[in-house]
Structure formats: C-alpha cells, structure tokens
C-alpha cells in the first residue's frame, strides 16, 4: 500500500488530529505538538491506508531574501516503512518549495538530536555541518540565522552548531531502519549535544534550482 502525503494549514489541524499525532509513539507529547500547530504555517501528514505514519510542521519563508524550507517538527512511526514515509514527507516539502520558489536556490534547515534523522539532508548540497569540513564565514552565519529563527539563539554555540539547552520543542524525530549504515563520523557531529539539558544540533543544506525541479516533481 502506498504512502499518501497531504499538506494543510497548521491552524486547521484539529484537536483530534493532534491526539493522533501524539499517539504515534514518537518523541513529542500533545503539548509540544499543540505548540507546533501555533508556531508553524504548514502541517503535512503521511498515511498508509487510514493509519498515520508520520507528520511534519514546517514553513516556507525568506530569511534575508533567501528562500527557506524550515522544518520545525517532524516525526515518523517506528515501523518497517518509516524510510518510505520519510521520503514521502521530504518529497512533499521539496514540491511545496518548488511551487513557492521556482527558479531559485533554497535553504533547507532543521534541528536534530540524532544522526539518523540527518538523512533528510542527503539530497542537498553543501550540508553544514558535515564530517571532515570546517564551517567558516557565511556557513556559520546561516547557523546563527537559523538558531534565531528557531528561537534558540540564546544558548546557540556557533563553533559546534549546537544549542546547549531547551531546544527540543521541535526537531526531526526519526530512527534509521538500519542504524549500522549511519557512519561514526556522522554520529560524531552530535557528540556535543547534551541530552539531559535538551540540546540539539542545527543543520542545513542547499538545493539548487535545477535540482529542486527534480526533487519536487510529481
């Protein structure tokens, strides 16, 4: 059975739908999801049959004139098809970006607590931070811009792209189906994230206009 992905205004999400999202078995409780409904513009759901298998709260906007896809919260059900669900959610995000920003390069960014979830950036260019590369100049500036947009700049550490505390009201909640395929170098990126204090890593990448046409095609 295929994955059906649908996007609506976040403000249209009902309390019943919030309960369904909170029952997914992921990292977010009803309070966090209710907050995401208020803070983000779009809500995307992924279903197999009538059963919810994943959701996203996000927005499309410009930061300093640059088109951005900001993923405020994403969660996938721990199920054998979760990789397919994740791809469906990201394809929808790319499609929305293509419709909103045709012929433009786009930044895609979010918060992470595990290297598994960073797979959402795999089709992007110049992913930052990334193993074996030291971010400088404009790359660090984008980290700071995203930290401010996510409302976590008070405890953001620019050298490591990490938020020291209280950043977990929204992030990409996803566990790899085959965690052994996630490299040690990728996991090391999150070694400075403090679980006990609610730390996160901020990461982003670029999709060039010509690539977005392919990624967002239906």
Cα dihedral 124/194/41/216 (nearest 10): 20
What is residue 2's predicted lDDT score, i.e. its pLDDT?
Answer: 92
Is 53 in contact with 86 (CB distance < 8 Å)? Answer: no
For the entire predicted model, the pTM comes to 0.96
Q: pLDDT tens digits, residue range 94-128? A: 999 999 999 999 999 999 999 999 999 999 999 99
What is residue 195's predicted lDDT score, i.e. its pLDDT?
Answer: 85
Give the whole-angstrom CA distance, residue 193 versus residue 105.
Answer: 30
Short-list 100, 38, 93, CA closest to 66: 100
Give the whole-angstrom CA distance, residue 75 versus residue 24.
Answer: 8
pLDDT at 55 over 90: yes
Give the whole-angstrom CA distance, residue 50 versus residue 70.
Answer: 27
Q: pLDDT tens digits, residue range 129-172? A: 999 899 989 999 999 999 999 999 999 999 999 999 998 999 99
Label the pairing between strands 125-128 and 106-112.
unpaired
What is residue 16's predicted lDDT score, i.e. its pLDDT?
Answer: 97
Angle (nearest 5°) at CA 134 between 207 and 67? 25
Q: pLDDT tens digits, residue range 13-51? A: 999 999 999 999 999 999 999 999 999 999 999 999 999
Does residue 117 sit in helix, strand or coil?
helix
Homologous superfamily, domain 3-215: Gcn5-related N-acetyltransferase (GNAT) (3.40.630.30)
Q: What are the φ/ψ torsions at residue 88 (nearest 5 degrees)? A: -65, -40
Is 82 in contact with 177 (CB distance < 8 Å)? Answer: yes
Label the pairing between strands 66-76 and 200-207.
unpaired
Task: State the distance between the two ends of the chain, measured CA to CA, in whole angstroms.
Answer: 18
């Amino acid at each position: 059975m295929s994955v059906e992905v649908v996007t609506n205004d976040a403000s249209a999400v009902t309390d019943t739908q919030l309960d369904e999202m909170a029952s997914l078995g992921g990292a977010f409780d009803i309070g966090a999801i209710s907050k995401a409904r208020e803070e983000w513009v779009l809500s995307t759901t992924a279903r197999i049959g009538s059963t919810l298998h994943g959701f996203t709260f996000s927005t499309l906007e410009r930061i300093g004139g640059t088109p951005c896809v900001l993923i405020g919260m994403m969660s996938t059900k721990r199920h054998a098809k979760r990789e397919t669900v994740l791809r469906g959610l990201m394809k929808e995000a790319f499609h929305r970006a293509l419709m909103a920003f045709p012929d433009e390069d786009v930044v895609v960014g979010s918060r992470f607590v595990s290297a598994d979830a960073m797979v959402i950036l795999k089709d992007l260019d110049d992913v930052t931070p990334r193993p074996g590369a030291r971010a400088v100049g404009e790359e660090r500036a984008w980290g700071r811009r995203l930290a401010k947009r996510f409302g976590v700049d008070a405890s953001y550490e620019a050298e490591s792209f990490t938020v020291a505390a209280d950043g977990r009201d929204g992030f990409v909640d996803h566990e790899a189906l085959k965690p052994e395929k996630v490299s040690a170098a990728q996991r090391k990126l999150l070694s400075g994230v403090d679980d006990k204090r609610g730390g996160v890593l901020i990461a982003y990448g670029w999709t060039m206009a010509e690539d977005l046409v392919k990624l967002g095609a239906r």
